[in-house]
Structure 1
Amino acid sequence: MSGKLHVTGRVVIVTGGSTDTGDFSAIRSDDVVIGVDGGAVRLWEAGVRIDLAVGDFDTAGEDFLHRLCESGVPTRRLPAEKDMTDTQYAVEQALLHDPQEILVLGALGGTRFDHTWANVSLLERIADRGSVGIIQNRWNRLRLLKGAGSLILPRDRYAFCSLLPVSKEVTGVTLSGFRYPLKEATLKRGDTWGISNEWQADRAVIVIRSGVLLVAESQDGSAV
């Protein structure tokens, strides 16, 4: 079964990595929600509306797929052998509708680091298409700055903010509102001195002039 998405602002994609029910509190009533294979199972069990379920459903299984179809949930079954991950397919479907933002839940954790890294890499694909991409769980929130731009980060549940260059270098890095400020600095890929900054004010600002920068807000597990 195929279904047409009606996107007005934000798409939330729930994929098959580690999630808990607290993660789903980020889903708003006006979001369009896409469940990816095992992520669709978690949404179903949590009683969260699913607007589209995609994947090869090797994790969810045939019985669950049948249950979705019987309940009228639009589904798109993908072949097991394909040229992209189920999560990338979900992102591509979301991008067809030019959403302002794509929030991905369940993209971190689990036993497969390759899948985690592939999911994080999708943030650049989202940015290239003009949308804001966020990957989030209770311990981490990841966003990407690409090219000249800025990001305002209010102080909230995350205690630390780390800057990880994705491109060979990121220039013109200026930080305000942090414990460790910077002005017109250059961060190079492989350097770790952008790790574990902390908020000094109620909001912090990151500005870059060029490059691709992964911004990771995080907290220790003991703080949860």
Structure 2
Amino acid sequence: MSQRIVIVAGGCWSEEEAALLRSDDMLVGVDAGAVHLLEAGRVPDLVVGDFDTVSVETYRQLQAKGVPIHSLPTAKDVTDTHHAVDWALARRPQQILLLGALGGSRFDHALANLFLLERMADAGISGLIQDAHNRIQLHPGNNTVITVEASPFRYLSLLALTTRVEGVTLRGFRYPLQEAVLIRDFPLGISNELEVEKGHIQVRTGKLLLIESRDHP
């Protein structure tokens, strides 16, 4: 089993996302995400979805390549991406990376994908969502420390996912915090910046979204 499973959904996609794919990744295409993978010259290890955004020609191409296909009904309780995440969690990788999970015309799907980070964290699996301008992970609390390294993503924003996040301590950032409380309906943690090569984020209780981002070039 690969240490990382990459799930590619049908949202915004560019060469920058394609460049994140590694040779040893297990690749799951979600509906039109399978098209993204094929265009990047990669054959998915699995495709899932109701295939409402995949042409008949592409579907037959996947079949011809022997790609396993999980065909899902249009009417179902969970999204195609949710189904793919549950499939990946059952295989216990070290990390799940979601690409093509932001942008596009469906904000509801993008928000639902963010909530899937909590599902991954609760299962003890590192989860990450990334596109050309954002990299998002969830801090699960429990006094754990997450290290953020200097990268092309200039800004770091901290947003409470639970109602309250307590004991937030930041080291190495322009705006440090010591045992702070962040509240979901009063977002104070927007656009912090690293001042050293590595910053450290510790949270005692609550779940915190860490959003690294950069402006359009």
Q: What is the TM-score with the length of structure 2 in the denominator? A: 0.97
Query: Which residue number corresponds to residue 184 of structure 2?
Result: 189
- Of the three residues 194, 206, 217, the one matched with 2:201 is 206
Instruction: Tell me how far apart the structure 2 counterparts of residues 91 and 61 of structure 1 sit (CA, whole Å).
Output: 23
**After superposition, what is the alpha-carbon deviation per residue over 1:86-133, rounded to whole angstroms, capped at 9, x for unaligned?**
000100110111111000000000111101100111000011111000
Please provide the CA RMSD for this pair. 0.9
Q: Percent identity over the alignment?
A: 48
Moved more, 15-24 or 159-168: 15-24
- Of the three residues 74, 80, 83, the one matched with 1:86 is 80
Name the aligned partner's letter for residue 107 of structure 2: F
Instruction: Tell me how far apart the structure 1 counterparts of residues 66 and 93 of structure 2 sit (CA, whole Å).
Output: 24
Cα deviation for residue 21 of structure 1 reads 2.1
Query: Which residue number corresponds to residue 219 of structure 1?
Result: 214
**After superposition, what is the alpha-carbon deviation per residue over 1:30-73, rounded to whole angstroms, capped at 9, x for unaligned?**
11000001010111112113111111111012221111001111
Equivalence map 1:152-163=2 (5 Å): 152-163=147-158
- Of the three residues 155, 164, 167, the one matched with 2:162 is 167
Which consecutive unaligned segments of at least 5 residues does structure 2 have?
Answer: none
Equivalence map 1:92-131=2 (5 Å): 92-131=86-125
Name the aligned partner's letter for residue 211 of structure 1: G
Name the aligned partner's letter for residue 159 of structure 1: R
Contact in 1 for aligned 2:160/2:187 (Cα 8 Å): no
Instruction: Tell me how far apart the structure 2 counterparts of residues 195 and 109 of structure 1 sit (CA, whole Å).
Output: 20
SS at match of 1:60: coil
Cα deviation for residue 22 of structure 1 reads 1.8
- Of the three residues 58, 61, 68, the one matched with 2:62 is 68
Cα deviation for residue 219 of structure 1 reads 0.2
The number of aligned residues is 216
**After superposition, what is the alpha-carbon deviation per residue over 1:119-152, rounded to whole angstroms, capped at 9, x for unaligned?**
1110000111110000001100000011312110
Task: Indicate whether 1:38 and 2:47 are aligned.
Answer: no
Query: Which residue number corresponds to residue 171 of structure 2?
Result: 176
Which consecutive unaligned segments of at least 5 residues does structure 1 have?
Answer: 1-6
Task: Indicate whether 1:15 and 2:9 are aligned.
Answer: yes
Instruction: Tell me how far apart the structure 2 counterparts of residues 24 and 45 of structure 1 sit (CA, whole Å).
Output: 9
Task: Indicate whether 1:50 and 2:29 are aligned.
Answer: no
